[in-house]
Structure 1
Amino acid sequence: MRMRVMVLGVAVAGALAGPAGAQTPPSTPDPHITDGTLQARLDKARASWKAARITSYRMRVRISCFCAPETPPTLRVRHGSPVHPPARYASVATVPRLFRTIQHAIDDKVAGLTVRYGVHGVPASIAIDPSRMIADEEAYYTIDRFARLSG
């Protein structure tokens, strides 16, 4: 059902854009992406994470989007590998994967990207808005209850 709504939305947007063949202009990238600020902050967080040498830990990750709500899982990582994460969380099941999510948003020059980092460079929150021209495609990640595990 969602796909039909999106296709209809694109058709309506195209019709409102003007003459046949005219397209809606792309969103302008977040200015902190284009000026390098977000990349520098990500690089600093990665360096802090690497220096901490943490390989086993747990963290709770909450994904908020225009999707069905669910109880956020506590993810466990042993020796750098996630331990049976739910499929929906596999792409953000480790701190390096969270960094990768942020890097993809920077590389894709999304319209909006807000990241807050915590201790050891661990992302505490990530808000990604790929396009200001499209509603309901934003994604938000909240990371809390981070704890280093022995071994």
Structure 2
Amino acid sequence: MNVLRRTAAALASVVALSACSGNPTLADEEARMERSRQVWNAQGLDDYRMTVRITGGLLGGSAIIEVRDGVPVSVQPAEGGPQHLPMSAFARYDTVEELFAVLEQAFDTGADDVDATYDATLGLPLTVAIDPMENAIDEEHGFLVEGFTKL
């Protein structure tokens, strides 16, 4: 989990993010997610391009995903980084709604820890680190939104 936390912290210093002080509980994190989802839904954005990096265990890779009318129309490997995943691995991460669904599943299944940051203006999740089970090895996973553009 340390690698995911360091990566999320580095990205947070580059991008404007909403922050939460103290040590939030899982219920606090879920409430933050719901507030951010409301902000995202209020945007009414159906056309966008985002670069998503999947992290966790021995897996990793980035894709540039284009969404039109709320539907992914293109998933291409991102340049300039290690690519260890087939593009089909991004099916769970190919819209902002799917990113929220990954978070929601973590809360619904009682993950041990969920750390997430959200874009303060748009509401979309930017960094997510999920630890499903305390003291288990290599089951941590998450994602980073490394770029986002309205189309």
Deviation at 1:69, TM superposition (A): 4.1
Instruction: Please identify which structure carries the higher helix content.
Output: 1
Scaled by the length of structure 1, the TM-score of the pair is 0.72
Greater percentage in strand: 2
Runs of 4+ with >2 A deviation: 67-70
Q: Verify: 1:99 aligned to 2:100, yes or no.
A: yes
- Give, in whole Å, the separation in 1 of the partners of 2:111 and 2:31: 16
CA 1:75–1:111: 2 relative to 1, 3 Å: same
Counterpart of 1:141 (choices 140, 143, 148) is: 143
User: Percent of aligned positions with the same letter in both sequences?
Assistant: 31
Distance in 1 of aligned mates of 2:92 and 2:131: 18
Q: Deviations over 1:72-125 (max 9, x none)?
A: 111110100011432100101100000010000011111111000013111110
Q: CA deviation at 1:144?
A: 2.0
User: C-alpha distance in 2, partners of 1:140/1:49?
Assistant: 19
Equivalent AA in structure 2 for residue 76 of structure 1: E
Partner of 1:44: 35
Give the aligned partner of residue 110 of structure 1: 111
Give the CA deviation at 1:42: 1.1
Write the distance in 2 (CA, Å) between the matches of 1:106 and 1:49.
19
Gaps of 5+ in 2: 1-22, 76-86
Question: TM-score when scaled to structure 2?
Answer: 0.72
Asked whether the equivalents of residues 51 and 64 of structure 2 are also in contact (C-alpha less than 8 Å), the reply is: yes
Q: How much has 1:31 moved relative to structure 2?
A: 6.5
Q: 2 CA distance for matches of 1:32 and 1:127?
A: 14
Q: Deviations over 1:115-144 (max 9, x none)?
A: 000131111100001112210110021102
- 1:39 deviates by 1.9
Q: Which runs of 5+ in 1 are unaligned?
A: 1-29
Determine if the alignment matches structure 1 residue 120 to structure 2 residue 113: no
**Equivalent residue, structure 2, for 1:76:** 66
Contact 2:67 2:74 in 1 (8 A): no
Give the drift of 1:68. 4.3
Following superposition of structure 1 onto structure 2, how do residues 22-61 of structure 1 map, counting pairs within 5 Å? 32-33=25-26, 36-61=27-52
Aligned length: 117
Change in CA separation of 1:148 and 1:31 when aligned onto 2, cut-off 3 Å = closer
